[in-house]
């Protein structure tokens, strides 16, 4: 895994360039070639981050654009507990927003003795918490596998306890992640979930599929050289694929390198559609049904 760069930088990263500020044509429609009269596909952004400072100045316009693009629900990921009040406040304003609670493998310094209890309380306090994560292993940026496992395992336990799916971040760490999940399967203690921002090989994908996991494609599937990801998008079973932005990171072509936002999940769905010989509306319907199956009716579409 990790042959391509799918998390270009940790927070904070620079503000978006001025040319991303709203233009006269809705950007997603412009990118998709859809006329302004065409009904957009139905889409769910299964992984986004909106509480980062990159959205401080223009969140309302970002919301308008995702609604125009057909994004009917969003799942906001959490990288550490200090974010939870801000995410919850955002969910109060946006009926289509649901969220996860968890600690990212590159945020292990935010894991303390009481963190599992903090996450449990947050999940039990608010029915809009529909997943645990993002959690996982990242050996691309860090080599502290033992510490990452110490943070991962209690979160996997919590997901099983609360019967919630997990959002898994896995970069250059397929082998230890598979080992952890397989051991749990043998003991009947593995949660359901999704491999978010998929960037592994088809062989690795098969191994995660065997464990029942879903595969979520992000803007990286639009990158011309991401051949392994293209192969995975062609091969993944129809009932296991999701789409996401992971915004503000990983903007799809043609906005690669700029700030990403939920409306651009349409470009991800378009590329997946092209690779599979489907229409973007078909991919939208399929991935929406899959997200609702995985995350449950708590994922509220508007
Ligand atoms: Zn993320």
Q: Could you tell me the two tokens for 227?
A: 């051949």
| Confidence (pTM) | 0.88
Distance in Å, CA 209 to ligand 1 centroid = 20
Distance in Å, CA 195 to ligand 1 centroid = 11
Q: Which of 102, 108, 173 is nearest to 133 (CA)?
A: 102
Of 181 and 12, more confident: 181
Distance in Å, CA 6 to ligand 1 centroid = 10
Q: List domains and CATH numbers for the chain.
A: 41-295 (3.20.20.140)
Give the chain's mean pLDDT.
90
Q: Distance between CA 247 and CA 244 in Å, rounded? A: 8
Length of the chain: 302
Distance in Å, CA 246 to ligand 1 centroid = 5
pLDDT of residue 37: 57
Distance in Å, CA 35 to ligand 1 centroid = 31
Q: Is the peptide bond before 248 cis (omega within 30 degrees of 0)?
A: yes
Average pLDDT over residues 201-227: 97
Distance in Å, CA 47 to ligand 1 centroid = 6
pLDDT of residue 13: 35
| pLDDT tens digits along 228-276 | 999 999 999 999 999 999 999 989 999 998 999 999 999 999 999 999 9
- 281 dihedral zone (left: phi>0; alpha: psi -120 to 50; beta): alpha
Distance in Å, CA 206 to ligand 1 centroid = 22
């Amino acid at each position: 895994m990790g042959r391509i760069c799918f998390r270009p930088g940790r927070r904070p990263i620079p503000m978006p360039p001025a040319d991303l500020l709203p233009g006269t044509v809705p950007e997603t429609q412009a990118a998709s070639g859809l006329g302004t009269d065409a009904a957009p596909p139905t889409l769910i952004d299964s992984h986004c981050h909106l509480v980062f400072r990159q959205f401080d100045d223009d969140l309302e316009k970002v919301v308008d654009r995702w609604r125009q693009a057909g994004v009917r629900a969003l799942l906001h990921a959490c990288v550490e507990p200090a974010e939870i009040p801000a995410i919850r406040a955002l969910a109060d304003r946006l009926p289509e927003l649901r969220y996860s609670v968890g600690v990212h493998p590159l945020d292990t310094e935010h894991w303390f003795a009481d963190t599992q209890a903090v996450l449990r309380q947050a999940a039990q306090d608010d029915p809009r918490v529909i997943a645990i994560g993002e959690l996982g292993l990242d050996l691309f940026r860090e080599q502290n596998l033992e510490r990452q496992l110490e943070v991962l395992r209690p979160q996997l336990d919590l997901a099983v306890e609360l019967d919630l799916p997990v959002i898994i971040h896995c970069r250059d760490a397929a082998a230890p992640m598979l080992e952890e999940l397989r051991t749990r399967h043998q003991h009947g203690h593995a949660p359901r979930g999704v491999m978010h921002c998929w960037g592994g090989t088809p062989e690795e994908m098969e191994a995660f599929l065997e464990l029942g996991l879903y595969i979520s494609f992000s803007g990286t599937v639009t990158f011309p050289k991401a051949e392994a990801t293209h192969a995975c998008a062609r091969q993944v079973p129809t009932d296991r694929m999701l789409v996401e932005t992971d915004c503000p990171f990983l903007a799809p072509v043609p906005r690669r390198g700029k700030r990403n936002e939920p409306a651009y999940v349409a470009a991800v769905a378009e590329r997946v559609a092209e690779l599979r010989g489907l229409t973007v509306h078909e991919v939208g319907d399929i991935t929406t049904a899959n997200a609702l199956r995985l995350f449950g009716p708590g994922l509220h579409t508007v």
